[in-house]
């Protein structure tokens, strides 16, 4: 019995010593850190998949006092950047030393992990260069009529939904998700998803699987993704980050689309057309520039990143416009005035003239960014400019987007919805990295033009015909879901719609 007690006591003391050593990592390097519990660290601070509660606490406590603050996710040291000049250095000036978004996994990786967001810098650079031509202004203009077609279907579905309710109350988040799903289906795959007509079509179901997975525990999932080497061993227990049926669906979809287009020589000048061109072209070594597996991964991330983020931006924007009717009327006046100028037709040129619309979208993204923090991993030892601090290779770095976007020293009265903040004259007064809704630097959001375009078209379509106001069902505040990496509403977004 005494021997057992000695063994247990020794093990306990060893664990305490190990954790104490781990939680002194930043102090030993002269970096201020968030106060930690000596035993469980930040365990009870972690309450959401996106971990913004930790970064918010760091930002609130150390803003204006330090360029960089250290904290921990379990025992993993992470650096939180608070200074905008340092943000610029990390994202742009010193990009070559901090080129990765995520810690790279050793060993085999699943098909859906080979996408642009996850690849290391060495594989990312050539792929980014190959994909960039898809998102030029010329390509956006070419895709625009397709968006308008889907927008007409949105207007029909919206009108039909209104006829089913005498109160005029409409739930917008699901409807906006169906709209963006159909847009991406048309522009990426060249197929009619029809989720605006049938919310249970396979595309919509798979979209929900991506963004609304069921986790046994938030902390357990974060633990697994913080130490990705675990997946190498968990696969023997059939534990996977992506379900097999989701991977099979994406592989089948891309393979069938490629085969159909090649057999019938179909050309649509869309995203998958560019991928087919890359697949069929050879590099200097005579090898195909893109395998079907890499094609699947890019299509997957385009679908995943494009549908939920834009649908949340749409529903969040309409929510704020309903709360701020003077902004809504000003935006509607701009939309109607420019449409009249173009004979009532929504053209690409007409959309680009709507500058206040763009300010409304950007202000919505400031208040409700798609992600709570930008992530980077140092690919080399990195000395913080004008300090004696050096980040070791492999250090996880977080840039707290929500903290920056809600900093009263940067945005006066940040809780107020004020699109005029993004008038060019006002933007010139702020630091260029004060807005990070689409990231920044070489690894910014590749599809930002497409994302903005589908949100613009969606807002124009609804606001030219309907006035939105609050209803009894409208939440007083849009709470953010705890269960997703991206920041999406945790509840339904109900508004009252009135035909103009």
At 241, is the pLDDT very low, low, confident or very high (cuts 50, 70, 90)?
low
- 280-308 mean pLDDT: 82
The answer as to whether 53 is a domain residue is: no
Q: What is the pLDDT of residue 233?
A: 60
Domain count, the chain: 1
Contacts of residue 44, Cβ cutoff 8 Å, sequence gap at least 6: 37
The answer as to whether 143 is a domain residue is: yes
Residue 393 has pLDDT above 80, yes or no: yes
CATH number of the domain at 308, please. Answer: 1.10.630.10
Closest listed residue to residue 77, CA positions, set 12, 17, 31, 127: 31
Q: What is the pLDDT of residue 341?
A: 95
More confident residue, 2 or 423: 423
What global pTM score does this model have? 0.92
- 22-27 mean pLDDT: 88
- Residue pair 401/374 in contact (Cβ under 8 Å)? The answer is yes
Q: How far apart are CA 289 and CA 386, in angstroms?
A: 42
The answer as to whether 28 is a domain residue is: no
- 27-54 mean pLDDT: 84
The answer as to whether 90 is a domain residue is: yes
Residue 47 has pLDDT above 80, yes or no: yes
More confident residue, 242 or 429: 429
* Residue-range definition of the domain harbouring residue 355: 83-499
More confident residue, 403 or 198: 403
Q: What is the pLDDT of residue 79?
A: 95
218-234 pLDDT tens trace: 777 787 777 776 666 65
Residue 436 has pLDDT above 70, yes or no: yes
Beta bridge partners of 495: 170
| Phi and psi angles of residue 399, each rounded to the nearest 5 degrees, phi first | -110, 110
The answer as to whether 104 is a domain residue is: yes
The answer as to whether 325 is a domain residue is: yes
The answer as to whether 87 is a domain residue is: yes
Q: How far apart are CA 109 and CA 321, in angstroms?
A: 43
167-221 pLDDT tens trace: 889 999 999 999 999 998 888 777 788 888 888 888 788 777 776 666 667 777 7
More confident residue, 28 or 239: 28
At 497, is the pLDDT very low, low, confident or very high (cuts 50, 70, 90)?
very high
458-490 pLDDT tens trace: 999 999 999 999 999 999 999 888 887 788 888
Residue 328 has pLDDT above 60, yes or no: yes
261-289 pLDDT tens trace: 888 888 876 788 888 888 888 777 777 77
Q: What is the pLDDT of residue 409?
A: 95
Structure tokens at 97: 């030393």
**Average per-residue pLDDT in the chain?**
87
Of 429-438, 444-453, 479-488, the one with minimum mean pLDDT is 479-488
104-158 pLDDT tens trace: 766 556 787 788 888 887 888 888 988 888 888 888 898 899 899 999 999 999 9
346-368 pLDDT tens trace: 999 999 999 999 999 999 999 99
The answer as to whether 158 is a domain residue is: yes
Q: What is the pLDDT of residue 106?
A: 62
- 57-80 mean pLDDT: 93
Q: What is the pLDDT of residue 11?
A: 79
């Amino acid at each position: 019995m005494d021997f057992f007690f000695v063994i247990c006591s020794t093990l306990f003391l060893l664990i305490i010593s190990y954790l104490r050593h781990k939680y002194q990592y930043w102090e030993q390097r002269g970096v201020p850190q968030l106060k930690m519990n000596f035993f469980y660290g930040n365990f009870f601070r972690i309450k959401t998949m996106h971990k913004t509660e930790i970064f918010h606490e760091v930002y609130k406590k150390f803003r204006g006092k330090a360029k960089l603050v250290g904290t921990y996710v379990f025992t993993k040291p992470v650096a939180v950047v608070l200074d905008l000049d340092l943000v610029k250095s990390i994202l742009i000036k010193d990009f070559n030393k901090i080129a990765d978004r995520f810690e790279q996994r050793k060993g085999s990786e699943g098909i859906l992990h080979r996408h642009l967001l996850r690849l290391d810098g060495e594989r990312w650079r050539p792929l980014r260069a190959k994909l960039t031509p898809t998102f030029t202004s010329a390509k956006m203009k070419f895709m625009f009529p397709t968006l308008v077609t889907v927008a007409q279907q949105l207007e029909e579905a919206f009108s039909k939904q209104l006829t089913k309710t005498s109160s005029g109350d409409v739930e917008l988040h699901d409807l906006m998700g169906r709209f963006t799903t159909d847009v991406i289906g048309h522009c990426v795959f060249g197929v009619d998803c029809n989720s605006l007509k049938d919310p249970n079509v396979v595309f919509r179901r798979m979209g929900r699987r991506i963004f609304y997975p069921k986790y046994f525990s938030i902390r357990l999932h974060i633990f697994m993704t913080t130490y990705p080497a675990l997946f190498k061993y968990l696969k023997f227990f059939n534990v996977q980050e992506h379900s097999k049926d989701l991977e099979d669906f994406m592989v089948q979809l891309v393979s069938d689309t490629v085969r159909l287009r090649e057999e019938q020589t179909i050309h649509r000048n869309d995203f998958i057309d560019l991928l087919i061109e890359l697949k069929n072209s050879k590099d200097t070594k005579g090898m195909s520039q893109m395998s079907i597996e890499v094609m699947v991964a890019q299509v997957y991330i385009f679908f995943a990143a494009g549908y939920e983020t834009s649908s949340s931006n749409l529903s969040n924007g309409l929510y704020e416009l309903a709360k701020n009717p003077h902004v809504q009327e000003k935006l509607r006046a701009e939309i109607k005035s420019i449409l009249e100028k173009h004979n009532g037709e929504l053209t690409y040129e007409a959309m680009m003239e709507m500058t206040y619309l763009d300010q409304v979208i950007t202000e919505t993204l400031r208040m409700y960014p798609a992600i709570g923090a930008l992530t980077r991993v140092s690919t080399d030892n990195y000395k913080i400019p004008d300090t004696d601090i050096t980040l070791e290779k492999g250090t996880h770095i977080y840039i707290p987007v929500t903290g920056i976007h809600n900093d009263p020293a940067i945005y006066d009265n940040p809780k107020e919805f004020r699109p005029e903040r993004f008038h060019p004259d006002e933007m010139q007064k702020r630091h260029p990295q004060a807005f990070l809704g689409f990231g920044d630097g070489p690894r910014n959001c590749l599809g930002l033009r497409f994302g903005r375009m589908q949100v613009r078209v969606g807002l124009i379509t609804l606001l030219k015909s309907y006035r939105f106001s609050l209803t009894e069902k409208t939440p007083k505040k849009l709470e953010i879901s705890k269960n997703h990496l991206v920041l999406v509403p945790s509840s339904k977004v109900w508004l009252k719609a009135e035909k103009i």
